[in-house]
Structure 1
Amino acid sequence: MLISILICVHLIGFTVGNDGYITVLNVNPQNNADQYYQCYTPSTFTGHSLSYGRSFAVDNDESLTETQWVVPTPGNNPRRHVVNKAVGMGVYYCKIVNNGATTVVQTTKIRDDAVITPENSKNTVTVNVGDNVTIRFNTDLTLISELVWRKNGSTALKNGTETSMTFDPVKTSDAGVYEMYQDGYREDLMHAFIKLIVRECPNHKWGPPDCTGDCEYCYNGGVCDDKTGFCICAPGFMGSTCETECNGNRHGWNCENRCSTRGPLTSCRYYQFCLPDPYGCSCVTGYKGIKCDTVCSSGTFGSDCAQTCHCKQGGCDPYTGKCTDNQYSSCAYPWTGSNCQKCQPGFYGENCDIECPCECHRITGRCIEGTCFHNWLKPKCEVGIVNTTSPPSNNGQKTIVSCSVYQTGSNEVQTMIRVTKNDVIENITIPLETIPDGNNTTKHTFSVISDVDSTYKCVIVQDHFSAESAILFDIFRLPFYNGSLTILNMSSSSIDIKWTAWNNNTDGGDGPVIGYFLYHKLNNTDDWNKGLYQASLSGTVNGLMWDTEYTFGVSAVRPGEGGEGPIGEGSTIAKTICGQPQPVKNVNHELIDGNPHNLFINWTQSDADTETLQCYNTSYILYTVYLQSNDEDDEMNIYYELIGTNLTIWNLTLNVSSYTIYLTVSNEDSESEAVKVGPTKVESETVATSEHPKDELEGLATRRNLFY
């Protein structure tokens, strides 16, 4: 038969500290041959009394006589005292008196084949006054009678079939050792015990009856003593807040004790440790279970494996909680510390999931004076910048930024925007708008000019303290176009151009580019003329001067107001062609001797100036005389080019009933509008004159056929 032992501690008039700290451990509770326990006393414990006995009888034959220990002379380990008397199932205690203070440690033992066991293998449950608490036993027996509940061995509390008891709310008078058994079978010793420990203050408070003290956070499973505010550390940890890991095979106030002098880290396996109330009893770090023989599963560590690893990779050492690579940087956000159990500055709460503006108390969130973050006013961190907002903006544009300021109290706080460029500071102190934003927060909005070379901060000032928060918003550099341009077509008043797309790798600024503007200017001048927005990679510039050289450039445009960049360096030069000359004046024609086969045409010489010719090259003047048939089915279309101002045509071959004469003048690029003469009717009885060759011309003209 195997027996597991639970030991609990009760203090009478004693302040927990090293002088009043005792550890009671149950050695090999499942082994009948080792049914003893050890009591480790404080290092200063000499010359005082130590006793042990049974708390109350389960079997009527059990003795309640208290036995005195003789405190040994200091030897190899003067703090360890062993109860060698074999004891059976029941509730026992170890009591010491040291410097006038009495400490009582209770222990319960249950049989290995018990049919009633504590829920979750926890023989002690520590709660806070006012909590809603339920204690429960597990049982796999078939009831043949009612279940009986007792407290501290007294008269039965209740009978029935319920395996749990609820306290809502729990009171300090509810504390004690509870047992549950089947009516009529108590002396069979097949049941178990649960000790309910009730702290006299709410959670994280100490100092009854007012309980105004705030407990320090006790790490790694430590418990705040409701009487003193000190942390009682779980076995395997030490320090004022239990933040120091001692590894396996260590226990005691300063981890001064070992389960085995030269044994491995596993030496405390199968031992159960009991510490002063309100801690209760637990396994040593790294183990759990009613026999303390189950190793912590991955992701857990500490006494009863009740602590959670907070490593990036999830796993940690089962004894210490340290990440496997032993690097602080391996902690998951926002955890920190040697074993990732502390909150990073700026966070608090059980799960480090509540923000604070400073290095703050883990439980209350109250700031440690003087540790305010840069965006909160010292010394109390009660006024701070909680948020800054700004929309994305293109460089050089006016934009709106806002600062949200949290404030308690009525003292005036000045809010401003500080703009710094090249060590020159400008303070914008007048907000556009100030709006209460709820929860003691006020939103201040300001107008600023975005500049990629400037820094922006929200600044608050109260009395002689100031705080600031950087305003981080996207200011986009305007795209700079370095592509190439190609001329497609030219006229006297317009030029068609195409260009390559803006490239994020070879061109400057920030994309994306959504379009372009096409610019032009007179060559060798500085004044650019802006064209229409172009969403494609080509465009036409209209309204140009004839026979004139222009320079063309392109700017790229990104989204947002003011998204147009500068005109790129990749410009090109092109020249318009000459314009259309003014029409020929004073055109006359006559039929020689009335014969339509013989013509004489003359006109006034066009002025050789730029306004008349619409061209700067005035040396090029060409006249063209067109003869066009008026018959629908006839294809007679002839023209004559010459530089003079008259033309004589002899013996014109005609197979038409009538024709019309047109006259134009041309510069080097363009032809004027035609001046019309006619129509001229051809009589069927008329014949060509034989004195001249057929189609003879006078006037240095060239005859050509014109086909449409």
Structure 2
Amino acid sequence: MVWWKYLDSTNNFHTHLKICFCIFHHPIRSVADNTYTNPQLIINADNFSISCINGERSPAQAELDIKKDNKILMYAITPQYIVQKLRNKKVVARNFIPPLETVTMINNVKNIFLFIYFFTVHLTMHLHSTQKRDVTWKYNGESAYATQYRGRKFKPPEETDNRGIYSASYVGDSPLKGAWMRLIVRGCPSQKWGPNCIRDCQQCLNGGVCHEVDGDCICPPGFMGTRCETACREGMFGQNCQEACGSELNCKGLRFCLPDPYGCSCASGWFGSHCERACHNDMYGPDCKFSCKCQNGGVCSRFSGCQCPRGWRGQHCEKSDWAPQIIDLVTNLELNLNSNARILCSATGNPLPSHNSIELRKLDSTVLKASRTVMDSNRSTAQFDIHHLSAQHGGLWECRVSTEGGQDSRKFTLTIKEPPMPTTAPKLLERRSNQLLVMPVHAYIGDGPIVSTRVLYKPQKNEKKDLWSSIIVYSDKEPVTLMNLEPSTSYYVRVQLSRPGEGGEGSPGPQATLETDCPEPTIQPEIDSSSVEGRNVTVRWRIPASNSISAGKATGYLVQLFGPPPYSEKLQEVHTLLNVLSTNLLVRKKAARKSSF
């Protein structure tokens, strides 16, 4: 409801009453996202305007409009005005050309009516001149009650449905010669909200009002924050202090209407019927309703309340504090690529830093919020989680803490290391029927130091791709023996290296295909006879009668000739087929000889 008046050259008040509303074609996410303003001190009709502002951060989809509500006060001639869309979140109605009437100045009751459900409410209008006519009361434009000329009060029904606009005028007079007021009725008792009004409201500061549906604080013009605890700069308003009054008068002469149950008020720092008067000493806030009562050297600002000196805080500067200090923060942090980082930052101070008071920042403007915060008796420890570290996460970081007591920051360097990976396959050094001796690493890429080497192996014929056996050693420079293998079997062998820290195990390197030796003999041939002719030695042997050799497993005999002790040097060896049980050896030196199998 907008009521405005101006004085013409004949000292007559021209009054115009418009009941307008702002239309949102996009759902508003918060009860405090829209503000309705109009100037209270009007020199002429050309200076009058109505503004509707949507306070959402991204209002691109919100379509705003201002229209007149013709259900309560009707004109025979439709008033003419234009609506200008200044930007996505603000529309202004101006250039009003309505019918004019000369009327007696009317004095409405100044208080904002804010009553609780089921309370008795008395609406009072002051008569400037007594006439012997009855007074007609109307509710939302419809006749509701009539009193004798001496009557002064009207009691509306005690239901929330009867919130709305009430007017009183003498019978037969134009409604413009009456008085108007708007009654706001809360759906819950004070400091309660929710479907059954069983939830307690948070403490809304600086004149903020708790909304009975969602429990949010509706902040008065000039304040913001979850509890309306933060004052805007002079001349600013809105849910995030993002709107300006657009003049050097610091919102002087403007009345702000916010969602119910707040109602309307002057901006912080102003009061009066036209919001044109500055607060008296030690008073501040919307309509100058609050007293500063600053302590400990605090200075009262009519716009924001007590401005406390260093070392003090609170609404009246009654709480002592000291600046926060970051402690126990490492200056160099080394983590592995693709691992999950958990970074801790602890701080002390009074007040103790809260969950949202500590954050990590990178020089490229990356901001990281804490995933959880543990508050002990003398410190707060914030935990920051970074999943799947990449090379871009490396560099210079800063932990920042900010409280009412001050700020502190500490820098640290985050280094991202790449886990090592071999570039060559394992090298075979020696093979036996059930063992392979390999050198696992020749070269690798990535970062060291190498703290462990895992040798992975599996039979080539194994159809299960992921079924690898492994052995771990703690050196990359010593050979590794793979034991308990199958004879005459090919194996895939590859190596995986690890460096210090979580996620330090690199990817496996190239694989080699290595084969074990044939099985060792299970029976021992016996030398049957030997003869020497000059340098020629003939050796004959036989297989014990109780044993037989499977041709599928054995391929022949190996005859070795050794020198005498103590050196027992191997002088010669000869291979024969399975069906050959003798061989000739050539002795090159004159010495005792010994042959063996």
Q: Which has the higher strand share?
A: 2
- Determine which structure has more spread, i.e. the larger CA radius of gyration: 1
Relative to the length of structure 2, the TM-score reads 0.45
